Amino acid sequence: MTQPTPFALMVGTGAIRKGHGMGETFIGSGKTGDSAVYLRRKFEVEGASEATLRLTALGCYKAWLNGRELDPQVFLPGRTSVGHRLQVQEYDIAGQLMDGPNVLAVLLTKGWYGKDPALYCSLSIDGREQCGVAGWLCSADGPLGFHDMKLGEIYDARKEADWTAVTYDDQGWAAPIEQTYEGALVAHQGARILEHERFVPTVVHTPDGSTVLDFGQNIAGYMEFTVTGREGHVVKMLYGETLDEAGNFTQKNLGFRVNKKTGSPEQTVQYVLKEGTQTYKPQASVHGFQLVKLEGWPEEVVPRNFSAIAVYSDLEQTGTFTCSNEKVNKLVENIRWSTKGNFLDIPTDCPQRERAGWTGDIMVYSIPATYQMDTRAFLRKWLEDVMLEQGEDGRICNIVPDGGMPPFMDGAAGWSDAIVKLPWVLYQFYGDEEILERAYPAMQKHIAFMERRSKKRKPWNALKGRHWDDLIDTGFHWGEWLEPGTSMPAGALRGFTVPDVEVASAYYAWSTATVSKVASVLGKEGDARRYLELSERVKAAYRTEFLPEGTVRSSRQCRYVRPVALDLIDDEAKPGVVAALNDAVVANGYRIGTGFLSTPHICNVLSDHGYVETAYRLLENEEQPGWLYEVGHGATTMWENWYGKDDAGHVTNSLNHYSPGAIVGWLYSRVAGIQPLEPGFERVLIAPVIGGSMTWVDCTYKSAAGTIRSMWRREGSALALHIEVPRPAVVRLPNGEEREVEAGAYEFYCEL
């Protein structure tokens, strides 16, 4: 038998195939309760020369043509703003059709949609398009019963049959119903969602008598297993991230819901055996986990019978960073795993709890992510949904897509500013002016929304000075979020009652100043001036309120970081503020004191103003709170909370949030010193900062203009620097000397 050629997935540019309100016909099964929907359509072919298949779904689908899987991707059609648009996958299937009967088989699950799923299928053979329910049959009585992306699934292997084959007898299957979808169908735009690495576990017997598999790496994905047993025997697999303080498996840090069917909290797969030996991996749920607890396993637990499969968007790795400090190398690896675990078609906060497209998380992590992976198409796709879901009044949602938060909570400072930050980062890294053009109207609406907000005041601020007309004290804001010593509920409560004016006003000023720069790039000089003036007014108001004597007075590190990092104060005022930040960090024993919003900036701010050693000591601090504390305590990903796990093994919150991993941005941009001097790295800056325990660093970044390398080594009191640049570069040596070079490879030496 000849090996069939692979199906070709055609990736489009995201152009809309059909507009809103056209009313596309979808194939639904009616009320199926909890179960997955199995669909089949038989059709006859005679000498077809051209055949194109287009598929999408409300929910997720997996398709087979004549028994053969159509696409190795999982969770198609991907995750978009369901009310607005669905991605369509298009396949050239001409070579796979057989003369005579053929069958298209589709498994439909609820996916991120969460409701009764429905399929869109257009089959075009030699120019004749067939769409709609005609010819389809469906069944909701297959092996996959209850299923939910987060809660897990129940699979009954006794019901398995060869239902994707042409020869399968589908008598008894029902006719599906027709359903209309009013959103747009767009070409597949994001990266492919694929299975990647596999991990084999070690078996742990916990004090409470349970058997737990430890895969050694926290991932997003699922576990494939092989089991031998008697028909009807039930096994349960509970997915979790860690053991608790007593050394037992726990899911208590994971979530908010309980699966009523399995009686377990989130992330549980229940499997009913058929007779004999069988292999299964989940098809309708994905989990954030390092551990799996087995319940009711019918035989000896042998590691080779299990493998954890990492599932994430297939983005090209663009960055590598290694150095002489092995713990920092492990940190970099952990951060990469948090990126993989949270890049499942959209950027999420965590893969086990909300798994939501929180705008703030990728706002703070956009630069670090983009050094490590080619985020261009991935973020571009998600931004499209951010724009589609923007409120009429200009507020950007906290969660995209389909966050469903009450609108009064949307538009939060630092979160909503993703609409400005992400296009700006894509422009800096890829020279992508088109995204600026595309996002500009949404940015303008965002600024107008904040401007209107600034004109309102809380009653208790009503009598304050005129500058309060340019500060924001209304709306809901998360504030700095999760500084050491604060808790999530307390932070959220403060967001409702006394929103943080300093944070809200700072981001108002930063976004407005950045939109002014965007307007300049786009040649809109009038807009550029207007936004610049507005941002200057807001910055002045900020300074009047928060730096009345030209400096900050606060016990919180974020209060010093923000005005410098977001450029809210004059350059002359910065050294004083950073000196005070340095004092605050020293007084805190070189431990991190910032939360979500300022953590990406603190080391940049310190090292840019001469406090290189302090920045390194913050990074290399091994006590809690600190990045290397986590490494020293078994972390394989980034923890959400600086106190995620304490010495006693007590766990709070998620252990897989990339936001605190934004420090990796400092490693690429300052420690290795690779930065774009012109958009798209058409001119490169190489300005490494040397300090801490590090004796060497080797970093590469595959930029849009070509691969850049910065490699340095301390040699006694001197520094040897090797660089490779694909474009002209400015090289700034640690002794202050600056050289301009053309594309090429160079060596530099200087005394430190």
Q: How far apart are CA 527 and CA 27, in angstroms?
A: 48
| Letter string b/e over residues 459-483, b meaning 16 or more CB atoms within 10 A of that residue's CB | eeeeeeeebbebbbbbbbbbbbbbb
DSSP single-letter state for residue 369: H
Omega before 625 within 30 of 0, i.e. cis: yes
Min dist CB 398 to ligand BGC, Å, is 7
What's the CA angle centered on 582, arms 580 and 587, to 5 degrees?
95
* Residue whose C-beta lies closest to ligand BGC: 349
DSSP E strand boundaries for 314-418: 319-323, 343-344, 346-347
Q: Give least dist CB 66 to ligand BGC, A.
A: 44
C-beta closer to ligand BGC: residue 412 or 618? 412
Of 43 and 408, the one with the shorter C-beta distance to ligand BGC is 408
Q: Kindly tell me which of 360 and 665 has the beta carbon lying closer to ligand BGC.
A: 360
Select 635 or 672, whichever has its Cβ closest to ligand BGC.
635
Give the CB-side neighbour count of residue 89, counting CA atoms within 13 A: 27
Query: Other C-beta atoms within 10 Å of 15: how many?
Result: 8
CB nearer to ligand BGC: give 338 or 614: 338
Helix/strand/coil (H/E/C) assignment for every residue in 218-264: EEEEEEEEEEEECCCCEEEEEEECEECCCCCEECCCCCCCECCCCCC
Least spacing, CB of residue 388 vs ligand BGC, in Å: 20
- Shortest distance, CB of residue 592 to ligand BGC, whole angstroms? 17
Q: Which is nearer to ligand BGC, 20 or 257 (CB)?
A: 257
Confirm if 175 and 27 have CB atoms less than 8 A apart.
Answer: no
Nearer to ligand BGC, 288 or 734 (CB): 288
Give the nearest distance from C-beta 222 to ligand BGC in angstroms.
Answer: 21
The whole-angstrom separation of Cα 401 and Cα 80 is: 6
Closest approach, Cβ 659 to ligand BGC, in A, equals 6
Compute the least distance from the CB of residue 472 to ligand BGC, in Å.
17
Question: From the CB of 481, what's the least distance to ligand BGC, in Å?
Answer: 5
Quick check: 358 and 398 in contact, CB under 8 A? yes
| Dihedral sign of CA atoms 343, 348, 350, 352 in order | negative
Of residues 57 and 409, the one with the C-beta less far from ligand BGC: 409
Q: Are 511 and 567 in contact (CB under 8 A)?
A: no
Cα atoms in the Cβ-side hemisphere of radius 13 Å centred on 300: 3
Beta-bridged to residue 213, according to DSSP, are 203, 292
If the CB atoms of residues 293 and 353 are measured against ligand BGC, the closer one turns out to be 353
Fill in the amino acid letter for 563. Answer: P
Structure tokens at 639: 């923890």
3-state secondary structure of 405: coil
Residues of this chain that interact with ligand BGC (CB under 6 A) are: 349-350, 354, 358, 360-361, 478, 481, 657
**For residues 595 and 626, which CB has a smaller minimum distance to ligand BGC in the complex?**
595
Rounded CA gap, 443 and 420, in Å? 6
Of 477 and 702, nearer to ligand BGC (C-beta) is 477
Q: Which of 367, 368, 387, 403 is nearest to 435 (CA)?
A: 387
Q: Least distance to ligand BGC from the beta carbon of 345, Å?
A: 18
Sheet holding 674-676: strands in order across?
674-676, 684-686, 729-732, 738-741
Closest contact distance (angstroms) between CB of 269 and ligand BGC is 24
In 642-682, the DSSP E strands lie at 674-676
Q: At its nearest, how many Å lie between ligand BGC and the CB of residue 657?
A: 6
For residues 122, 115, 139, 154, the Cα torsion angle rounded to the nearest 10 degrees is 130
